Structure 1
Amino acid sequence: MERKNKRIGMAFIGIIMTAVSVGIFRYADFGVDPYCVLLTGLARIFYTSFTITANVICALLLVFAWRMKKSLVGVSTLLNLLIYGVVADGVFAALKSVSETPALSVRIICLTGALFLLAFSGAMYYTADLGVSTYDAIALIMADRKIGKFKYCRIAIDLTCLTAGILAGGEIGIATVIIALTVGPLIQYFRTNLAEPFLEGRKIPAFLS
């Protein structure tokens, strides 16, 4: 029971922190990850909020994932649908209310903090292993259908989202490139040194405790 509770808690914290990081990335105004480039672009085209756009796309992808491979849908998938867009929009609005036009130094601090927060949240979320986000499910389903190896399917999905997002006027910038190059290794680092030891009840390295 303790392990199950840990997994649920890790999934919840991971998704909340992922959404918080997106709100901070948007506030820093250096660009967002490929999926959010698409979401911000669609929100601009249809004159809707990020929350509404994220929820609609997530719901559509959830139906697709459920029909194609139900095993990918779990607690994390549903939490992602319910809270991702709301929290991301809320954090962005809260930061904007503090300062509409932050100084460059503040933007850089926000960018750096959001990057590590995104990696940490990803480590918690993936280690919990209670389902995947609907976006992650697409590449997993493609790999399962032997369309290609997962990493190539994920690259193809990211590039597709990025291209469509750019055409739609999404929020792209240097952070988009930084996220693509660094988040994967950082997630693995936090999984190995923090998330997995926490779940298994092992000692967390001193420099992270």
Structure 2
Amino acid sequence: MERKNKRIGMAFIGIILTAVSVGIFRYADFGVDPYCVLLTGLAKIFHTSFTMAANVTCALLLLFAWKMKKSLVGVSTLLNLLIYGVVADAVFAALKSVYETPSLIVRIVCLVSALFLLAFSGAMYYTADLGVSTYDAIALIMDDRKIGKFKYCRIAADLTCLIAGILAGGEIGIATVIIALTVGPLIQYFRTNLAEPFLEGRKIPAFLS
């Protein structure tokens, strides 16, 4: 029961923090992650909100994930579909209401914080194994089919999404490139050194405890 409760808690925390990180990225205004570049581009093309673009895209990717590997679809996947866009929009609006035009230092702090938060949250709900976000399922499916190691598959998926997002007119910046090149390896790092030891009751390395 303790392991089950850990998995549920890790999944919930992971989903919420992923959405929070997106809101912070948008507030930092250095660009967003590759997936959100696509979402912001789609929102512009179809003249709709970020939340609507996220929900529709997630629904389409959900069908793909269900067809390719049903085990990746679970409670986390459905929760992500329902709350991802809403929470991201809410965090962005809340930060804007506190400080409309943040200084460069604040923006940089937000960027770095959001980057590590995104990687940490991904590691948490991947390890919980109660389903993953529909976008994150792409790299896991590629890894499962031996196309390449997860971190490289994630980079490939991010770069593909980035190109599509640019063509769609999405928000892009230096942060977009940083995220595309670093999040995959960072997620793997947090999984190996934090999320998996926590779930299995093993000792977490001293520099992370």
Alignment TM-score, normalising by the size of structure 2: 0.90
Q: Which runs of 5+ in 2 are unaligned?
A: none
1:19 aligns with 2:19: yes
What CA distance in whole angstroms lies between the structure 1 residues aligned with 2:156 and 2:141? 13
Distance 1:143 1:81, change over 3 A: same
Distance 1:147 1:171, change over 3 A: same
Q: Which runs of 5+ in 1 are unaligned?
A: none
Select between 83-92 and 125-134 the one with higher mean Cα deviation.
125-134
Select between 66-75 and 19-28 the one with higher mean Cα deviation.
66-75
What CA distance in whole angstroms lies between the structure 2 residues aligned with 1:128 and 1:143? 17
Distance 1:96 1:167, change over 3 A: same
Deviation at 1:193, TM superposition (A): 2.4
Q: Could you list the runs of 4 or more consecutive aligned residues of structure 1 that deviate by over 4 angstroms after TM superposition?
A: 139-156
Over aligned residues, Cα RMSD in angstroms? Answer: 2.1
What CA distance in whole angstroms lies between the structure 2 residues aligned with 1:13 and 1:119? 13
Q: Secondary structure at the match of 2:107?
A: helix
Contact 2:154 2:184 in 1 (8 A): no
Deviation at 1:183, TM superposition (A): 1.9
Deviation at 1:143, TM superposition (A): 6.1
Contact 2:52 2:85 in 1 (8 A): yes
Q: Secondary structure at the match of 1:62?
A: helix
Distance 1:140 1:187, change over 3 A: closer
Deviations 1:106-161 (A, max 9, x none): 10010011111111111111111122221133344456667777666544433332
Distance 1:119 1:156, change over 3 A: closer
Distance 1:68 1:97, change over 3 A: same
Deviation at 1:33, TM superposition (A): 1.3
Deviations 1:69-126 (A, max 9, x none): 3222112211111111111111001011112211111100100111111111111111
What CA distance in whole angstroms lies between the structure 1 residues aligned with 2:133 and 2:48? 22
Deviation at 1:179, TM superposition (A): 1.1
Deviation at 1:23, TM superposition (A): 0.5
Select between 3-12 and 195-204 the one with higher mean Cα deviation.
195-204
Contact 2:26 2:92 in 1 (8 A): yes
Alignment TM-score, normalising by the size of structure 1: 0.90
Deviations 1:153-205 (A, max 9, x none): 54443333212211222111111111122222322222222212211122323
What CA distance in whole angstroms lies between the structure 1 residues aligned with 2:146 and 2:193? 32
Distance 1:196 1:68, change over 3 A: closer
Distance 1:93 1:152, change over 3 A: same
What CA distance in whole angstroms lies between the structure 2 residues aligned with 1:159 and 1:34? 7
Residues paired across the two proteins, number: 209
